[in-house]
Structure 1
Amino acid sequence: MGLSVRKRGGAAGAGLVALVLAAGAAGCGTEKTVDIDPAAAVAKAAKNTEEITSLNYRMKGEVPGEGQIEGTAAMSMKPLAMSMKMEVAPGGASAPEGGEVEIRLVDQAMFINGGEEAAKEMDGKTWIKFDLAALGAGDELSELGAAGQADKNPASEAGFMADAEGVEEIGTETVDGVETTHYKGTITLADLRESLKDEDQETREARETTLEQYEDLGIDKMTMDMWVDGDERAKQFRVRADAEEGPMDMTITFFDINKPVEVKVPPAAETMDLAEMMNDLQAG
């Protein structure tokens, strides 16, 4: 499976997506959310969700420029660390030949496992290291296709739902054995950007990264669904939108909230440092 880097201005990975990607509830809450106004219930759940410190999540859906992706991730907010494994359909920016992509974000560096194909071109090394401080974190992440989802805090993304319009309660549904209340609403990126001025600096910075990635995709309006559990946090959320390179439809489900997350740096002997390689080329 080969890896490729795309230029800024193209479709950044969403994820989930997007991609990049709202946090959820511990997998044991079963009480129904208090019966209050849908908009107020969603706002409270979004706030509670953004206050979590770590989470595990599953993601599944379609990302513009990438196609179908499916994966799992574990993420710690402070310090920021993330471990993600994704199955990517052939033809995407991150893995043109398709297959599994493994990404780790730790100590201000992103590591991408290119597998056997990458090893053929990197003296047997399977990991590529992107030193975000040396290379420019914002630009590098948005050039990495689906890998650009790695610095997304899904808890922040769930917070977008608090600013959605026309929020309505769909009904009670069970997600991963947990009873939840399903809500739905729509929101524009213009409204999201306007709402940033009322947030504290930490929240603004967390949401700004995701907004920029959505803007790079050419998205201006999204439909969002949130499933709220008995702890009044998001157990699951879904984002749908039309982008320049096709539809986006990503669902993220959360579990193991506020449990320890450990992300290990790959062995140095198996890692090619992109910053060092570029410095060597410039020196040569």
Structure 2
Amino acid sequence: MRGSVRRGTTGAALAALVLGGGAVSCGKSDESPKMTPAAAVAKAAKNAETITSLTYRMTGKVPETGRVEAEATMSMKPPAMSMKMNALDQGADGKMEIRLVDQAMYLGGGEATAKELDGKSWMKFDLSGADKGAAAGAGKVPSQAGQDPSQESTFLTGSKDVKKVGTEKVDGVDTTHYKGTVTLDELRAGLKDQDKETREKREKSLKQYEDLGADKLTMDMWVGPDDRTKQVRVRAAADKGPFDVTLTFLDYNKPVTVKAPPAKDTVDLAGMMKELQEG
């Protein structure tokens, strides 16, 4: 298999996992017209803590991968995800599917991947931690796959300049648009007031942006009339290029079923990484 396939697939998977950052929230509609922007954002973020699953659409641009489009369904407990993604700047090689199920990630690239894998169209990586050497060789993908993607939706609460932009329709829903900036240092400073589990989750999410070389986020958040985050946009100046991603939430808290691809169509990624390290 050529190295370009490994780099492209792994990079796209990392992008997809980082981009699965927002979460729709849930709660009763009791927003007061006098509620400040900071309070409204905090309320929507607080409601995100009860999320169990979601379906979302993602568009944007990420470093190294370029323009991306995706739609995904995911469950937080137990962790599971099915995502169809298109890296638009990579031509025919940019289309792929990502599945996360039973502590394993499957990367499917269809015909383009099959040409590089002797007819097999899926690569598998074990995320259970059983093979630390292979995990190190695969870079950031395993650690990203274990993230709680709802954490990014809380980040605007750390902004000191959050403001109301106005009211807009998003995917047919009336929303209030809020905007602000926040640095990773400011977000970390707010973690001291959180419980241990919350701190650990948010630290992992913050590290995603550190790994991209970003230290400040510009965020837009569209909140619906029921205090649910309908859409989130995150922008950052990363070391290897601009990060600009919008996630629109389509559904939430519905049952999620993800099946592993047939074993006959799958190549074990951990074994492949060992071969690359040794070779």
TM bucket normalised to smaller: 0.7 to 0.9
TM-score (norm 1): 0.84
Separation of aligned partners in 1, 2:177 and 2:98: 31
Separation of aligned partners in 2, 1:123 and 1:138: 23
> What corresponds to 1:205 in structure 2?
200
The match for 1:234 among 206, 229, 232 is 229
Shift of 1:280: 8.5
> What corresponds to 2:261 in structure 1?
266
Higher relative contact order, chain-length normalized (CA < 8 Å, sep 6+): 1
Shift of 1:282: 10
Aligned partner letter, 2:130: A
Helix, strand or coil: the match of 1:78? Answer: coil
> What corresponds to 2:39 in structure 1?
40
Give yes or no for the alignment of 1:184 onto 2:182.
no
Separation of aligned partners in 1, 2:168 and 2:200: 33
If each structure's helix is expressed as a fraction of its own residues, which one has the higher value? Answer: 2
> What corresponds to 2:238 in structure 1?
243
Helix, strand or coil: the match of 2:6? Answer: coil
Helix, strand or coil: the match of 1:181? Answer: strand
Aligned partner letter, 2:159: A
Separation of aligned partners in 2, 1:127 and 1:277: 12
- Is this contact kept in 1: 2:137–2:274, CA < 8 A? no
Separation of aligned partners in 2, 1:128 and 1:261: 22
> What corresponds to 1:19 in structure 2?
19
Which ranges of structure 1 fall in alignment gaps of 5 or more residues?
Answer: none
Separation of aligned partners in 2, 1:173 and 1:258: 25
The match for 1:134 among 105, 123, 130 is 130
Separation of aligned partners in 2, 1:141 and 1:230: 43
> What corresponds to 1:64 in structure 2?
63
Aligned partner letter, 1:111: Y
Between the two proteins, the alignment pairs up a number of residues equal to: 272
- Is this contact kept in 2: 1:43–1:162, CA < 8 A? yes
> What corresponds to 1:221 in structure 2?
216
Distance 1:250 1:244, change over 3 A: same
> What corresponds to 2:54 in structure 1?
55
Shift of 1:119: 1.9
Deviations 1:45-85 (A, max 9, x none): 01102321100000000101111001101110100111111
User: 115-124 or 100-109, which moves further after superposition?
Assistant: 115-124
Q: For residues 70-109 of structure 1, what are the structure 2 equivalents within 5 Å?
A: 70-90=69-89, 98-109=93-104
Aligned partner letter, 2:98: I
Distance 1:140 1:203, change over 3 A: farther
Deviations 1:74-113 (A, max 9, x none): 110100111111110335xxxx864212111111111100
TM-score (norm 2): 0.85
Separation of aligned partners in 1, 2:194 and 2:276: 43
Identity %: 56
Give yes or no for the alignment of 1:5 onto 2:4.
no
Shift of 1:138: 7.4
Which ranges of structure 2 fall in alignment gaps of 5 or more residues?
Answer: none
